[in-house]
């Protein structure tokens, strides 16, 4: 395992130099955030980003993400050209030696929360989600009011997109995912890139849109769609852990060497489809990170791991979930667990 840290590029208030101060963090997880969805990434731009990361003494470990155009998810005419562009971006990554690509296949919205600053008992704030609050969201105003990092859509565009998904059920979404992977995974194999799908967050349908990467069975179906080591998973403990029926360590053991990236964070489930995020340690939330990491070390996980969302603490302001302080504490906690679990074993070598 090697510890990494997400960095949002020059717009990120956290400088790379500060990331470098976190003991043990060697890699950066980043992306070209301003390329329009569907366009191929330019080698020159990615090379520049890589050079900037390396100049700070870090490596470019993971691209998170190259977003997938809605026409691919919808299976519309024109998807072949968009998929060709996607393959080109994957080839560019491979040519620069960036080995892992985290992506998702969630219709319209990426991860979503209904509260960006829920006060916790310790005086910090954290991201929270409540299905009842989601039901009250007025989508006729576009995505502008939504707390999350969805691509921004104006009211008309959003209504058109939601309309296009009206007839889309989970079965067709799976078909479109298979169509995409059948074409992109061979390109990834050739380029030496490992694809790592991010589970749906939260792991259930929202706004009536299907979501298909929510359970252990879904992850197993995903890796079987194209049976190649290049077709793998980002194991996100917070996304999957929001559904108390998911047995995370068991899932790790079943997916095994198809886990190419680990996102580690903790959540406390407080009701039906209701949860808030917490500090990383097992004692702070409902996810037993000790057991998840034990399972990861047992399956010989050697990939990048990153501390996922943290609380906002010590008066820090900035991108909710992505402050420096609590994620840095998370990175230290996770490395401590890992050292304790793996010292003297092959995984800890």
Q: Residue 81 CB: number of other CB atoms within 10 A?
A: 12
Exactly one of 49, 62, 64, 112 binds ligand DNO (CB under 6 A); that residue is 64
| 236 classed as catalytic | yes
Residues, the chain: 349
Q: Residue 111 CB: number of other CB atoms within 10 A?
A: 21
Q: Distance between CA atoms of 210 and 342, rounded to whole angstroms?
A: 39
If binding is defined by CB under 6 A, does position 103 make contact with ligand DNO? yes
> What would the two tokens of residue 101 be?
């690509």
Exactly one of 111, 180, 261, 301 binds ligand DNO (CB under 6 A); that residue is 111
Residues 293-312 that bind ligand DNO (CB under 6 A): 309
Min CB(346)–ligand DNO separation in Å: 29
Q: Which of 198, 260, 276, 280 is catalytic?
A: 198
Exactly one of 12, 47, 110, 291 binds ligand DNO (CB under 6 A); that residue is 110
Q: Is-contact 326 310, C-beta < 8 A?
A: yes
| 263 classed as catalytic | yes
| 165 classed as catalytic | no
| Binding segment (CB under 6 A) for ligand DNO, from list 7-15, 41-49, 96-104, 214-222 | 96-104
Closest CB to ligand DNO among 105 and 174? 105
Residues 135-164 that bind ligand DNO (CB under 6 A): 149
Alpha helices in 56-197 (DSSP H): 70-74, 79-95, 131-135, 155-164, 170-191
Q: Distance between CA atoms of 26 and 99, rounded to whole angstroms?
A: 14
| 308 classed as catalytic | yes
Q: Which of 69, 260, 263, 280 is catalytic?
A: 263
Min CB(348)–ligand DNO separation in Å: 26
Exactly one of 58, 98, 102, 313 binds ligand DNO (CB under 6 A); that residue is 102
Closest CB to ligand DNO among 69 and 342? 69
| 325 classed as catalytic | no
Beta strand 274-278 pairing with 231-236: unpaired
135's CB contacts (< 8 A; 6+ apart) are: none
Min CB(100)–ligand DNO separation in Å: 12
Residue 242 region, left (φ>0) first, then alpha (ψ -120 to 50), else beta? alpha
Residues 178-217 that bind ligand DNO (CB under 6 A): 198
Exactly one of 89, 104, 124, 266 binds ligand DNO (CB under 6 A); that residue is 104
Q: Distance between CA atoms of 131 and 291, rounded to whole angstroms?
A: 28
Distances (CA, A) of 113 to 148, 202, 242: 6, 8, 12
Distances (CA, A) of 119 to 128, 139, 242: 10, 26, 19
Min CB(205)–ligand DNO separation in Å: 16
| Binding segment (CB under 6 A) for ligand DNO, from list 47-55, 98-106, 208-216, 278-286 | 98-106
Q: Which of 71, 130, 201, 308 is catalytic?
A: 308
Strand arrangement of the beta sheet that strand 274-278 belongs to: 115-119, 125-130, 274-278, 266-271
Catalytic residue numbers?
198, 236, 263, 308-309, 322
Q: Give the footprint of ligand DNO on this chain (CB under 6 A).
A: 64-65, 102-104, 110-111, 149, 198, 263, 309
């Amino acid at each position: 395992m090697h510890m990494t840290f997400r960095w949002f590029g020059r717009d990120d208030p956290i400088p790379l130099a500060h990331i470098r101060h976190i003991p043990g963090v060697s890699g950066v997880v980043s992306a070209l955030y301003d390329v329009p969805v569907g366009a191929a990434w330019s080698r020159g731009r990615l090379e520049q980003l890589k050079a900037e990361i390396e100049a700070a003494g870090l490596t470019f470990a993971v691209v998170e993400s190259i977003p997938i155009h809605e026409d691919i998810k919808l299976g519309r005419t024109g998807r072949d050209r968009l998929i060709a562009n996607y393959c080109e971006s994957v080839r560019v990554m491979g040519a620069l030696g960036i080995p892992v690509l985290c992506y998702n296949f969630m219709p319209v919205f990426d991860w979503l929360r209904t509260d960006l600053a829920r006060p916790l008992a310790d005086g910090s704030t954290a991201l929270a989600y409540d299905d009842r609050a989601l039901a009250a969201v007025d989508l006729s105003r576009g995505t502008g009011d939504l707390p999350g990092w969805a691509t921004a859509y104006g009211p008309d565009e959003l209504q058109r997109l939601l309309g296009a998904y009206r007839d889309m059920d989970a079965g067709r979404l799976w078909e479109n995912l298979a169509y995409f992977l059948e074409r992109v995974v061979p390109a990834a194999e050739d380029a030496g890139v490992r694809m790592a799908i991010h589970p749906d967050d939260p792991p259930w349908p929202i706004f009536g849109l299907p979501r298909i990467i929510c359970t252990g069975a879904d992850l197993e179906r995903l890796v079987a769609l194209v049976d190649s080591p290049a077709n793998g998973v980002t194991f996100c403990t917070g996304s999957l852990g929001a559904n108390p029926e998911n047995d995370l360590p068991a899932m790790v053991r079943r997916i095994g060497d198809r886990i190419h990236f680990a996102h580690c964070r903790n959540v406390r489930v407080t009701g039906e489809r209701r949860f808030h995020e917490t500090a990383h340690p097992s004692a702070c939330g409902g996810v037993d990170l000790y057991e998840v990491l034990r399972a990861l070390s047992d399956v010989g996980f050697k990939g990048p791991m990153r501390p996922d969302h943290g609380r906002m603490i010590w008066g820090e302001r900035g991108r909710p979930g992505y402050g420096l302080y609590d994620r840095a504490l998370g990175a230290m906690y996770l490395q401590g667990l890992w050292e304790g679990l793996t010292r003297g074993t092959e995984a800890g070598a």
